[in-house]
Amino acid sequence: MHLKNKITIVIPTLNRPISLSKSLDYYSKLPFTVKYFDGSKIKNKKFKNLPPHIKYFHLPNLSFFSRIKKSLSTISTPYVILGCDDEFYTLGGLISCFNCLEKNKKYISSIGQCVKFYTKTNKIITYLGYEKNLFNSVKSSKSEDRVKEHLQEYAPKYIYSLSRAIFWKKAFTNMLNLNLPVFAIGELVFEISMAFQGKIKILRKLFWFRNYDNSPHYNTEAYLNPENKITTWWNEKKKKKERNFFIYRFSKLLNSKNKKKTSKLIWDVINAYCNNKEVI
């Protein structure tokens, strides 16, 4: 089995050359296609004479969304996953999820368990991440029910999962088309889009390590600035027109045949998410 022809790992990165070098060292030894989309002004000198399964795109000054858009046209494998320069998917975890999806055509994504780690006084401290993901597969048969099921016990699942590329590309295209200056709105658009399209299977297997030694790197892009809170945007009266237009466009992208019903679904789940309410 040539996994490099089956799975692509897409890694956007920006101004973290040390993390990027560690990522390259790690993934160079694994049998998957890995593509780095680097928005840093300075090209990473370590990316020379790369193994055939590693691709590096130096895209200085391109935004995160622009680099994601670039990635969509480069993916040719049937499965894809979004990565980061300071997190590491395991060989066994990716193979387990790949096998799960190959056997279960009703699922569009699969994910395992995350271990977060950081260093303290020369020791590595580890703990389980995203504990809500331990048991909460999203497996309802109806699109609307899956979205409600996912947002009821919300933790990001699809965005870190191994997914069928056709659905992953569609969800990211929705995200690109709904670019607003609101923190985390892109993640929600992606998660809702994926849940609307299909089921996710959560495995009780180690899937990836996430490094918390690094501070998050925020730049001038408004949608990546935590101060632009989605809860504030959602509940501000002066943003009502913008919200309504967002819901209209999102519903059209998800389900152009029944925009009214889908609009209500989007409003219900995001309103519940922003106001800590139960999804009905």
Q: If pLDDT is split at 50, 70 and 90, which confidence band does 280 have?
A: low
The predicted structure's pLDDT at residue 70: 96
Type of residue found at 84: C
How distant, in Å, are the alpha carbons of 48, 106, 221, 233 from that of 227?
38, 39, 12, 11
Statement: residue 217 has pLDDT above 60:
no
217-233 average pLDDT score: 74
Sign of the Cα torsion 216, 272, 233, 39 reads: positive
**Structure confidence at residue 144 (pLDDT):** 95
Determine the average pLDDT of the residues in 198-204. Answer: 95
- pLDDT tens-digit map of 46-81: 888 899 999 999 999 899 999 999 999 999 999 999
pLDDT at 248 over 80: yes
pLDDT digits (tens, 9 = 90+) for 175-189: 999 988 898 899 999
Give Cβ neighbours of residue 248 (< 8 Å, ≥ 6 apart): 259, 263
Average model confidence (pLDDT) across the chain: 91
What is the predicted pLDDT for the residue at 1?
A: 57
Rounded distance between C-alpha atoms, residue 85 and residue 130, angstroms: 19
Q: What is the pLDDT of residues 96-116, one digit of tens each?
A: 999 999 999 999 999 999 999
Q: What is the DSSP letter of 21?
A: H
* Cα 98 from Cα 77, distance rounded (Å): 12
156 pLDDT tier (thresholds 50, 70, 90): confident
Tell me how far apart the alpha carbons of residues 236 and 207 are, in angstroms, rounded to a whole number. Answer: 39
- Helix extents (H) in 127-229: 143-152, 165-177, 185-197
CB atoms within 10 A of CB 90: 16
CA-wise closest residue to 172 among 274, 260, 73: 73
Q: Would you state the pLDDT for residue 219?
A: 55
Q: For residue 202, what pLDDT is reported?
A: 93
Cβ-based neighbours of 165, under 8 Å, separated by 6 or more:
8, 75, 77, 78, 79, 80
Beta strands in the chain (DSSP E): 7-13, 33-38, 54-58, 79-82, 87-89, 107-120, 123-129, 162-164, 199-211
- State residue 258's pLDDT score: 87
Q: Are 178 and 68 in contact (CB under 8 A)?
A: no
Query: Residue 2 above 80 pLDDT?
Result: no
pLDDT digits (tens, 9 = 90+) for 118-130: 888 888 888 888 8
